[in-house]
Amino acid sequence: MYVVKKVKDVSPQEITCGIMRELTNSKDFKDMSIIHVRITGSTKKHYHKDSTEIYFVLKGSIDVKIDGKVEHLEEGEMIMIYPNTNHEAWKTSEEDAEILTISSPSWAEDDEILV
C-alpha cells in the first residue's frame, strides 16, 4: 500500500500565515503528517501539546522565533520543534515562502495552542 499526492491536486485551506495543503494526515498514517504551506504572512505564536514539527524550506526564506530566539532558514534548510515549545514563523523573502511541515504524530487542530 502507498499514498501519492500532488500539491496542485490537494484542496487549499486558508490559515493565518497563508495557504496549507495536507498531503497526508492521520487517515493516511496516524504517526505522521506532511503539509505543504505557502507562507504569505506570519503565524500566530503557538505550541503543540503532542506534536514534534519539522519545517523544511522549499522556496524563499523564513524566520522562526522559538522561545524568544530567531532562527533564519533558507531554501534546503530545516528546523525541528519539539512539543511544548512556543514558536511562530514568517517569510523573510520578497516572494512567498514554501515549506513542508512534517508533524509526528499527525497534525491536529486541537493540538495547536495559541499563546
Domain positions in the chain are: 7-114
Q: State the pLDDT at residue 16.
A: 85
Classified by CATH at the fold level, domain 7-114 comes out as: Jelly Rolls (2.60.120)
- In this prediction the pTM is 0.92
Q: State the pLDDT at residue 49.
A: 96
Q: State the pLDDT at residue 100.
A: 97
Q: What angle do CA 53, 102, 98 make, to 5 degrees?
A: 105
pLDDT above 90 (res 1): no
* 22 exposure class (CB count in 10 Å sphere: 0-12, 13-18, 19+): buried
CB 60 within 8 A of CB 93: yes
CB 86 within 8 A of CB 45: yes
pLDDT digits (tens, 9 = 90+) for 12-63: 999 888 999 999 988 999 999 999 999 999 989 999 999 999 999 999 999 9
pLDDT above 90 (res 109): no
Q: How many CA atoms are closer than 13 Å to the CA of 90, on its beta-carbon side?
A: 8
